[in-house]
Amino acid sequence: MDENKTAALAGGSIAKNARKNLEAKTGKKVITSDNYLPPSKNKRIKKDDGDTE
């Protein structure tokens, strides 16, 4: 799990820097209220408790 967390943090940092660079270069915001998806209410993953009875 630690490898996944490290990779996710690195990927997020790269994406953030790319977005910031693009916004600085174009002078326009990349993220607006018109181009995002609202959070889904049904996107929960059931946690397996390991009990197979």
pLDDT digits (tens, 9 = 90+) for 19-44: 999 999 999 999 888 888 887 787 66
Region 7-20 average pLDDT = 96
Q: Between vectors from CA 4 to CA 20 and to CA 45, what angle results, nearest 5°?
A: 100
Spell out where the chain has E strands: none
Inform me whether the pLDDT recorded for 14 exceeds 90: yes
Region 6-17 average pLDDT = 96
Supply the pTM of this predicted model: 0.59
Read off the tokens for 14: 């790269």
Enter the DSSP assignment of 40. Answer: P
Tokens 């993953």 sit on residue: 45
Instruction: Give me the pLDDT at residue 35, please.
Output: 85
